[in-house]
């Protein structure tokens, strides 16, 4: 029986996935910064579920969560890096500490978890790592430059990782949700304290206090959870998985625009090569 380790399970996709994984009969270590936020999930599955406090910026808690999975269930077969939060600011407005904290929790936390589970996965020559990214990992909006930077970093790291561990029997999947009906635009969204008036028209409508999308997003976290379980259970998995009709629409348009830009500027791009004889 596979054992899952899921981060950020207090709400949203993480909580829905934790519930679905336990209901499907898998072993699971369900984590959140406050363990009491997830104990209700595991109490109904005392044989297969265990709750653990996990702040992904704290190496000792990462080590403890992985050790718990090893002691209770023999190791981690599926890692889901889901912990994180949103941050809205114009690039010029971004606070250095806020940005550093965002990267610490949403990128470097993922990396630390991956490093912690890979020795066991390499020994067993199997495993699946699901890194929860976003459509912001391939496309960005005004005010989301730093959040996109984190997700672009996750996707770049994951692309290299899959090529490194794929030959060892370990799969890496980047999950790119669109707008999900979670707390992302509410409790889980942080905003800059610095506001520059010149960005009122571009960033202004997307500032936390002006974002009215919470509770109206098209994506269903429960359906997203079932899709992720299906990916893990499948013999073949994509490297990138979009979640939601809005995600498919937005990223399809973005890829079309990128392809057009490459074609439009191809002549200038290739003009920078040395002549065919190799002489300047």
Query: What one-character DSSP code corresponds to residue 75?
Result: S
Exactly one of 147, 148, 158, 199 is catalytic; which is it?
A: 147
Q: How far apart are CA 218 and CA 224, in angstroms?
A: 11
* 215 has a pLDDT exceeding 80: no
User: Percent of the chain having pLDDT more than 90?
Assistant: 86
In this structure, how many other beta carbons lie within 10 angstroms of the beta carbon of residue 171? 21
The full set of domain ranges for the chain reads 3-268
Contact 266, 198 (CB under 8 A): no
Return the minimum-mean-pLDDT range out of 144-153, 196-205, 209-218: 209-218
pLDDT at 258: 98
Asked if 133 is an active-site residue, the reply is yes
Q: Is the pLDDT of residue 14 over 60?
A: yes
Task: Please tell me the least confidently modeled range out of 64-78, 109-123, 189-203.
Answer: 189-203
Residue 216 pLDDT > 90: no
Confidence (pLDDT) at 277: 63
Nearest in space to 173 (alpha carbons), one of 247, 100, 232 = 232
**pLDDT reported for residue 279:** 65
Q: Above 60 in pLDDT, residue 194?
A: yes
Is a pLDDT exceeding 90 seen at residue 188? Answer: no
Q: Which of 121-125, 194-198, 210-214, 257-261 has the lowest mean pLDDT?
A: 210-214
Q: Out of 3.30.160.60, 3.20.20.70, 3.40.50.720, 1.20.1440.230, which CATH number does the structure's domain 3-268 have?
A: 3.40.50.720
- Residue labelled with tokens 């029997």: 169
Q: In this predicted model, what pLDDT tens digit does every residue of 21-66 receive, in sequence order?
A: 999 999 999 999 999 999 999 999 999 999 999 999 999 999 999 9
- Catalytic annotation on 199? no
Catalytic residue among 133, 134, 140, 148: 133
DSSP letter (8 states) at residue 56: T
d(CA 193, CA 87): 11
Determine the length of the chain: 280
Residue 239, both tokens = 């490297």
- Catalytic-residue membership of 230: no
Cα–Cα distance measured from residue 234 to residue 97, given in angstroms and rounded to the nearest whole number: 41
**Intra-chain end-to-end CA distance of the chain, in Å:** 62
Instruction: Choose the catalytic residue: 105, 140, 144, 151.
Output: 151
pLDDT at 209: 77
Query: What pLDDT does 10 receive?
Result: 92
CA-CA distance, 137 to 81, in Å (whole number)?
Answer: 15
Q: Tell me the pLDDT tens digit for each residue of 129-186.
A: 999 999 999 999 999 999 999 999 999 999 999 999 999 999 999 999 998 876 655 5
Question: According to the model, what pLDDT value does residue 21 have?
Answer: 98
- Stated pTM of the model: 0.93
Burial of 62 (0-12, 13-18, 19+ CB in 10 A): buried
Measuring CA to CA, which residue among 144, 155, 134 is closest to residue 244?
134
Q: Which helix (H) or strand (E) holds 66?
A: helix 59-73
């Amino acid at each position: 029986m596979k054992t899952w380790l899921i981060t950020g399970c207090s709400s949203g996709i993480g909580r829905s996935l934790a519930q679905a994984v336990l209901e499907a009969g898998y072993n699971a270590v369900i984590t959140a910064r406050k363990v009491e936020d997830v104990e209700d999930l595991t109490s109904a599955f005392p044989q297969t579920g265990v709750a653990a406090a996990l702040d992904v910026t704290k190496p000792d808690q990462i080590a403890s969560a992985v050790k718990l999975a090893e002691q209770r269930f023999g190791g981690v077969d599926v890692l889901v890096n889901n912990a994180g939060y949103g941050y809205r600011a114009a690039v010029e407005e971004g606070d250095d500490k806020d940005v550093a904290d965002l990267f610490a929790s949403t990128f470097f936390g993922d990396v630390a978890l991956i490093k912690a589970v890979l020795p066991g996965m390499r020994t067993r020559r199997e495993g699946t790592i699901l890194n929860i990214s976003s459509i912001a990992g391939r496309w960005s909006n005004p005010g989301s430059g730093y959040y996109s930077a984190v997700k672009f970093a996750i996707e770049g790291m994951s692309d290299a990782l899959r090529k490194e561990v794929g030959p060892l029997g370990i799969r890496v999947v980047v999950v790119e949700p669109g707008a999900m009906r979670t707390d992302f635009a509410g409790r889980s969204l942080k905003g800059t304290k610095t506001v520059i008036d010149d960005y009122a028209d571009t960033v202004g409508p997307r500032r936390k206090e002006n974002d009215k999308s919470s509770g109206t997003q098209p994506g269903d976290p429960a359906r997203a959870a079932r899709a992720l379980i299906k990916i893990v259970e499948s013999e073949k998995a994509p490297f990138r998985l979009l979640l939601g009709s809005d995600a498919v629409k937005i990223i399809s348009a973005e890829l079309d625009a990128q392809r057009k830009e490459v074609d439009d500027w191809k002549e200038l791009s290739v003009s920078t090569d040395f002549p065919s004889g190799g002489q300047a």
